Amino acid sequence: MFKSKKNDVSGLHIIIIGYGKVGSTLVEQLSTEGHAITVIDRDAAKIQEVVNLYDVMGITGNGASYATQKEAGIDETDLLIAVTESDELNLLCCTLAKQAVRCATIARVRTPDYSKEAAYLRERLGLAMIINPELEAANEAARILSLPTALEVNSFAHGQAELIKIKIPDGNKLDGIAVSALGSVVTANILISAIERKGEIHIPNGDFTIHAGDTISFVASRDVAKAFMEQIGIATNQVRDTMIIGGGKAAYYLAKQLLHMGIAVKIVESDRERCEQLSVLLPNAIIINGDGTDQQLLREEGIEEAAAFVPLTGIDEENIMLTLYARQVSKAKVITKINHINFRNVISQLDLGSAIYPRYITAEAIVAYVRAKNDSRSSNIETLYHMFDNRAEAIEFRVDGESKVTNVPLKDLPLKKNLLISFISRNEQILFPSGKECIMAGDTVMIVTTNPGFKDIKDILM
């Protein structure tokens, strides 16, 4: 199936091989940012679907075939992204593209053996990026379990700063406090970047008043973040043990990290052969061969006393039901992995604790690279996170040189509305900028905004 591209495309020419969960998310996000996209998949029905939904070109065929890549316009392509279900096929697609025209390439690689060699593969095969959804999901889950009262924990400035999302409980000392008056309640140096109230996202100024029930995202260093949460009466100790349902790749990656953090791990997996593999790979974990949806088994294995519960099956409905059950019978911190998002508005109304979306985690890293590649004259995107169901973005820019935003006091910059400069990282120090502070070449700058599609630090200006 085929659909012509627009002739007035101002962005990159991108080939996406594989129209699965990650591929569809990439098409959804990149097609709105002005790029000319061609999708290749063996399944004709999927190609028909994508060309009906989006203004893209679709080709049914083998993405590892030079003839297919040639038909897709590889000679004029800026970036090829291979996100099929096969690691080997993804690497082959990228290798072929690099040999043919030397365009930039990104491969999804999920197998642990390959992930251990990611740096070597990236260098030897000339890949711009290797992305592993299961590993990235495990990283996010591990960060949350180290600070379990948080709903989300995202890392910036090479781990020096974190964007943390929490919900303000009834009776909390922040209830009724204006953002500008935080210093009268807490001594911890943090900055509130965004607030969700009754489904609306606010980029707060100093006059904005916090209320119980608000979900706030704040920026701080890890130590200061814990101090802030303790000062407002929210516990911060990491969990002591975790029960994981499902023994797939994400479970392996997560268990390995948690054991390294000193957290006891119990995995329930129905496939006996996989249990035997996990017992060798994770000798310090407890591996249970059984049905993770069996309520009696879960009770026997201690779900009622578990400090954390993470369903990582491949079926969203199972993960959601297991989470709801855990919230009924225990006080465990729960993290729910969700692969499909067809009913995301319904899911958001459920009490699922922290929800992680591997396909969005993967897409964010790739979208950040694409934006940086498309406009990297005065800055580069280091990190990008979508917040509050894609209604806001947190972007970390590396400021490579002088521009209209540098050496000017922030109070004198004509900043766009619904935008907040959350921190400046300079000489490995995190600065929460005042109006007198200036952005300088060499800084990294993190902004939060409800304006979509920023590619360059200059985009913050009106």
Domain assignment of residue 251, yes or no? yes
Instruction: Please indicate, yes or no, if residue 19 is contained in any of the structural domains.
Output: yes
Asked if residue 157 is part of any domain, the answer here is yes
pLDDT in the model for residue 4: 43
pLDDT at 6: 44
Averaged pLDDT for residues 74-100: 94
* Together in a domain, 26 and 80: yes
pLDDT(9) > 80: no
pLDDT given at position 10: 64
Instruction: Give the number of other CB atoms < 10 A from CB of residue 345.
Output: 10
**379 with 346, same domain?**
no
Contact present, 217 and 163 (Cβ < 8 Å): yes
Looking at the fold, whether 19 and 127 belong to one and the same domain comes out as yes
DSSP β-ladder status, 444-449 and 392-399: antiparallel
Mean pLDDT computed over 312-329? 93
Those residues with Cβ within 8 angstroms of residue 241's Cβ, 6 or more apart along the chain or in another chain: 263, 264, 265, 266, 306, 307, 308
Average pLDDT of span 327-341: 89
Based on the fold, state whether residues 335 and 411 are members of the same structural domain. no
Separation CA 378–CA 440 (nearest Å):
12
Q: What is the largest CA-CA distance in the chain?
A: 67
Give pLDDT tens digits for 399-447: 988 999 999 999 999 999 999 999 999 998 899 988 899 999 999 999 9
What six digits make up the tokens of 395? Answer: 């972007």
Helices (H) and strands (E) in the chain, counts: 14, 22
For residue 352, what pLDDT is reported?
81
- Residue pair 333/307 in contact (Cβ under 8 Å)? The answer is yes
Beta-bridge partners for 163? 154, 219
Contact status, residue 282 vs residue 256, Cβ threshold 8 Å: yes
- The predicted pLDDT at position 300 comes to 96
Given 356, 388, 415, the domain boundary residue is: 356
Would you say residue 63 lies in a domain? yes
Residues 146 and 219 occupy one common structural domain: yes
Q: Let me know if residue 4 belongs to a domain.
A: no
Same-domain status, 24 and 50: yes
Query: What is the model's pLDDT at position 285?
Result: 98
243-275 tens-digit pLDDT: 999 999 999 999 999 999 999 999 999 999 999
Q: Do residues 135 and 115 lie in contact, with contact meaning Cβ atoms separated by under 8 Å? A: yes
CA distance 33 to 461: 19
**Band of pLDDT at residue 5, cut at 50, 70 and 90:** very low
Among 231, 261, 278, the domain boundary falls at 231
Q: Is residue 48 part of a domain?
A: yes
- The pLDDT score that the predictor gives to residue 97 is 93
Q: Any idea what the CATH number is for the domain that residue 68 is in?
A: 3.40.50.720
Q: What is the pLDDT of residue 43?
A: 97
- DSSP, res 199: T
Domain that holds residue 273: 241-356
What is the tens place of the pLDDT at every residue in 352-381? 888 898 888 888 889 888 888 876 556 688
Grade residue 153 by pLDDT with cuts at 50, 70 and 90.
very high
Distance CA 437, CA 432 (A): 9
What pLDDT, on a 0 to 100 scale, did the predictor assign at position 7? 41
Q: Is 172 within a domain?
A: yes
Mean pLDDT of the chain: 91
Residue ending a domain, among 92, 114, 131, is 131
Same domain, yes or no, for 345 and 381? no
More confident residue, 115 or 397: 397
How much of the chain, in percent, has pLDDT values that exceed 90? 69
Among residues 53, 41, 29, the alpha carbon closest in space to that of 85 is found at: 41
- What pLDDT was estimated at residue 364? 87
My answer on whether 391 and 406 are in the same domain is: yes
3-state secondary structure of 385: strand
Q: Which pLDDT band, with edges at 50, 70 and 90, does 1 fall under? A: very low
- 163, 219 contact by CB (below 8 A): yes
Count of domains observed in the chain: 4
Lowest mean pLDDT among 19-23, 26-30, 117-121: 117-121
DSSP 360: H
* Residue 236 counted as domain residue: no
Identify the CATH number of the domain in which residue 441 sits: 3.30.70.1450
226 with 250, same domain? no
Position 428 scores a pLDDT of 86
